[in-house]
Structure 1
Amino acid sequence: MDTAYAPSPRGSRVPVGLRAPFSGRTWREFLYLFLSLPLAVLMFVYAITVISLGAGLLVTFLGIPVLAGGLAGSRALGGLERARARTLLGLKVADPEPVRAAKPGLLGWVGAVLKSGVSWRHLIYSLLHFPWAIFSFVFSVTFWSIGWMLLSYPLWRWTFPAYLDQPGALMWDDGNGHGVYLDAPTEIGFTSGFGLLLVLAGPWVIHGLTQVDRIMVHGLLGPSSLATRVSQLESDRGVVVDTAAADLRRIERDLHDGAQARLVALAMDLGLAREKLAEDPQAAARMVDEAHGEVKIALQELRDLARGIHPAILTDRGLDPALSALSARCTVPVTVTVDLDHRPAAAIEGIAYFTASELIQNVSKHAQATSATLDVWRTADRLMVLVADNGRGGAHTDSGTGLAGLAERLEAVDGLLIVDSPIGGPTCVTAELPWRG
């Protein structure tokens, strides 16, 4: 839920409602509304001029480049509006995608500008923002100024008898010289109290008005949802490529440092045993026995490496047996519960397995836990993986951690990683994956 103002600082005895009229946020938002009117007039006049001039010149074929130039100018004014919203409202809206001409030259650029939905949305903003800017300017300035004027009425009431020869502000006049003035103490107190109510309500009124501006700026001046999705997919593709490259380097390193080195040593030992076979059969037999042991170790390393790439038990029997076998190798007792009617797509099943594998490894290495649980289930169109432990807590997805890399990999397939791990524990890490059966 959006809150206009932060809670009172620790130790502060001033409630947020009393601090709001004096907060920097209130006055920045008021300044935004105050500046909206002149800028909206400028943009509205510009938009009407561009449309009228462009439409009027269409019969001479000059209207098309004029309209394209006008749309480009609207994009520039939209950049000014985004900067103003970012500075005064704290609204961070990304710049829309630039115009990309399919063909070089002026004609290509004109065609690209006219086909760009972003350009037309900037022009529409100039037209729609104008009436709203008039209303928000008049309402906020009137509301805010009347509130402060009434609140401070006891401070400037003396100007009426001093300069206007009347006891106070004239509230009603019958035209015959008889009127009602705000001069009695109760009337002055009521006026000031009513002004105080307006002043206290002013920040929330101003914030509500700026919410409409936030929606308009974000919806009309920001990048389109399609462009945002394309950018996200490009980023996710980069994450997938980097992850695949890192996995290949890990496999290469494991093969080079593990099984490959052991097999090279094994070949050398067998060569020596063959040379000693004639002159010292017993020594050759011992060397063959040692080589036999090395073969078993090399085979185990290759099995572990293959399991790390994609375990055969996952392919043959699914998540339940694969995760049970995975948890059996954990140094912490893990209770596994898998509630799935049928198997998801092989790619999602593999990602779920390796997500659970990494989370279980974290429990084993870092959690200092005495027990853990692993639950897998389906809800609607999502595959859920939950790993919980009673360890020391403090896990987070800050940059540079293993959980951060895991979160990026899940985001690449429209997944989500949620970490709840207060200091002292317990820790609950939930991974959501799309269900693709």
Structure 2
Amino acid sequence: MTASITAPDDDRPPPARFAFDRCTWKEIAHLLGNLPAALLGFVYVTVTITTSAGLTVTVVGLPLLALVLMGARLLGRAERARARALLGVRVDEPSPLPGPGRGAGLIAPVWYRLKDPVAWRTVLYSVIRLPWGVVTFTVMMVGLFVLWPVLPFIARGLSNADRAMVRGLLSPSDELERRIAELESDRGVVVDTAAADLRRIERDLHDGAQARLVALAMGLGLAKEKLLEDPDAAAAMVDEAHGEVKLALQELRDLARGIHPAVLTDRGLDAALSAVASRCTAPVAVTVDLDERPAAAIEGIAYFTVSELLQNISKHARATRASVDVWRSQDRLMLQVTDNGKGGVRLDSGGGLAGLAERLGAVDGVLAVDSPSGGPTTITAELPWRTREACEAHAPQGAQRPREAGRTPST
């Protein structure tokens, strides 16, 4: 969640008065506590960062610095809590730092921590707070014994400076920083998915069509040798090889369909989803209500999303009927797959649906699951709508399709 740098109206303290009200005493307590809090933060930051910087020539330097920055985030959380309790500063907690994605290795998590803008701003906050803590502690101690009548006004001025520092340095990353971090994480997901797909294609070619073609070549070689001495045996071997060619062609067609089906390119989602629905073990009703085609990449993601969901129905749902609905809702492409199977589907971490949700998230998509035990199961996916011509998001066109009863709302 991203917080605004400027405080809302109800975040402002009441006007300062000569009387010592509850707000004034809280401000005084905060200003007196600045020095011990600043000492703790300054010592932690200077000692740990100096130590980890000195160890960067070894293998433990950068991982240690990443741990130091994780600790700096905890310091920032404590300071936000103190400011929230004593100064009434309402600053949201920063979002968790996005991870580098699955299969990223050992270096990527360290690198993500080293680039954490929230932690580095907390380090800066801890460094500049020590002289400020000395100033506020000294002024408050003098004020309590010498400047008592005007102390509420002094406390208010110093506290406003504290409020500004907390909002400026300890607030969550701005939207741009957060978006950059998300896109970097999504890029890792896309790279991992592409690498896995390439390995799958290589494995299918090696174990399927390639092995069949090698056997076919050997069979034709044997038939060639027997052609003169045993024509009947050679003819039988050629006939067998002809069957092998047909099987190899079918495997290559299936593999090509798994990469990107030609019917999707030529005729769009309606025909492509109807084709994949015909291979489901349960009868599937397909409804596609689109007045134009989205970008080819979005079409491909939508196709493979529905294809994977229908495969899950065939393997696990024990359903007797299913439906696929595709429509456009403003600037989103909506997909909904429903079946009357046993239900109990969960979006658990590490499962197939979790991987699908992760891939959708890499393109700003969302996956929602509604599957009570006993069924029915409704899985809704949202993808960004991008025009086929410009491949960019544009303003909504046309009226939103009315939602039917039972549809899962957009998340």
Identify the TM-score tier after normalising by the shorter chain: 0.5 to 0.7
The answer for the alignment partner of 2:194 in structure 1 is 244
The 1:430–1:44 alpha-carbon spacing in structure 2 relative to 1, beyond 3 Å, is: farther
Partner of 2:268: 318
Asked whether the equivalents of residues 418 and 430 of structure 1 are also in contact (C-alpha less than 8 Å), the reply is: yes
Contact kept, 8 Å, 2:264 with 2:272, in 1: the verdict is yes
What residue is the counterpart of 2:14 in the other structure? none
In 2, Cα distance between equivalents of 1:425 and 1:359: 15
Within a 5 Å distance, the mapping from 1:109-124 to structure 2 comes to: none
Q: CA deviation at 1:95?
A: 8.1
| 1:398–1:404 Cα contact (<8 Å) kept | yes
Question: Is residue 396 from structure 1 mapped to residue 346 from structure 2 by the alignment?
Answer: yes
- 1:184-203 to structure 2, matched below 5 A, reads none
Partner of residue 221, structure 2? 271
- Structure 2 match to 1:426: 376
What is residue 78 of structure 2 aligned with on the other side? 83
Checking the alignment, whether the CA contact within 8 Å between 2:75 and 2:122 is kept in structure 1 is no
Q: Is 1:376 the counterpart of 2:326 in the alignment? A: yes
Of 237, 256, 259, 1:287 maps to 237
- How far did residue 86 of structure 1 move? 6.8
**Aligned twin of 1:258:** 208
Percent identity over paired residues: 64
C-alpha displacement of 1:374? 0.3
Q: How is 1:42-61 mapped onto 2 (pairs within 5 angstroms)? A: 42-43=33-34
Hey, what does 2:29 align to over in structure 1? Answer: 38
Supply the distance in 2 between the matched residues of 1:77 and 1:291 (Cα, whole angstroms): 69
* TM-score (norm: length of structure 1): 0.56
Alpha-carbon distance change, 371 to 96 in structure 1, aligned in 2, over 3 angstroms: closer
1:400 to partner: Cα distance: 1.5
Match of 1:343 among 278, 286, 293: 293
**What is the distance in 1 between the residues matched to 2:93 and 2:28?**
22
Partner of 1:93: 94
* In 2: Cα distance, 1:268 partner to 1:386 partner: 49
Q: 2:94 is aligned with what amino acid?
A: V
Q: Residues 43 and 298 (structure 1 numbering): CA distance in 2 closer, same or farther, change over 3 Å?
A: same
**Deviation of the 1:38 alpha carbon:** 2.4
Alignment partners' CA distance in 1, 2:245 and 2:385? 41
Q: Distance in 1 between matches of 2:352 and 2:175?
A: 30
1:290-322 superposed Cα distances (whole Å, 9 cap, x missing partner): 000000000000000000000000000000000
Q: CA contact under 8 A between 2:323 and 2:339: conserved in structure 1?
A: yes
Q: CA RMSD in A?
A: 3.8
User: CA–CA distance in 2 between the matches of 1:312 and 1:85?
Assistant: 56
Aligned positions, number? 273
Alpha-carbon distance in structure 1 between the residues aligned to 2:207 and 2:183: 36
- 1:101 is matched with none
Counterpart contact for 2:121–2:169, Cα < 8 Å: no
SS at match of 2:228: coil
Structure 2 unaligned segments of length 5 or more: list them. 1-23, 39-70, 86-91, 99-116, 137-162, 388-411
Is the CA contact (8 Å cut-off) linking 1:78 and 1:221 kept in structure 2?
no
2:184 matched to which residue of 1? 234
Q: 1:285 to 1:95 in 2, by over 3 A?
A: closer
Normalised by the length of structure 2, the TM-score is 0.59
Q: After superposition, what is the alpha-carbon deviation per residue over 1:25-59, rounded to whole angstroms, capped at 9, x for unaligned?
A: xxxxxxxx998762355559999xxxxxxxxxxxx
CA distance in 2 between counterparts of 1:262 and 1:385 reads: 38
- Aligned equivalents of 1:78 and 1:419: distance in 2? 33
Secondary structure at 1:221 match in 2 = coil
* SS of residue matched to 2:367: strand
* 1:396–1:95 distance in 2 versus 1, CA, 3 Å: closer
In structure 2, do the counterparts of structure 1 residues 45 and 332 end up closer, same or farther at CA, with 3 Å as the change threshold? same
The superposition leaves residues 147-178 of structure 1 with CA deviations (integer Å, 9 ceiling, x where unpaired) of xxxxxxxxxxxxxxxxxxxxxxxxxxxxxxxx
User: 1:274 and 1:313 mapped to 2: Cα distance?
Assistant: 39
Q: 1:118 to 1:349 in 2, by over 3 A?
A: farther
Q: Secondary structure at the match of 2:341?
A: coil
CA drift of 1:268 comes to: 0.4
> Partner amino acid for 2:217?
A
Larger Cα-atom Rg: 1
SS of 1:417 mapped into structure 2: strand
How far does residue 284 in structure 1 lie from its aligned partner after superposition? 0.4
Deviations 1:119-158 (A, max 9, x none): 69x999x99xx9xxxxxxxxxxxxxxxxxxxxxxxxxxxx
Structure 1 residues 37 and 281: alpha-carbon distance in aligned structure 2, compared to 1, 3 A threshold: farther
Contact kept, 8 Å, 2:73 with 2:122, in 1: the verdict is no
Alpha carbons of 1:46 and 1:358: their partners in 2 closer, same or farther (altered >3 Å)?
A: closer
Tell me, yes or no, if structure 1 residue 331 matches structure 2 residue 281: yes
Match of 1:386 in 2: 336
Question: Residues 336 and 85 of structure 1: is their aligned pair in 2 closer, same or farther, counting only changes over 3 Å?
Answer: same
Question: Which structure carries more relative contact order (alpha carbon 8 Å, separation 6+)?
Answer: 2
Tell me the amino acid that sits aligned with residue 82 of structure 1: R
Deviation of residue 81 (structure 1)?
A: 4.6
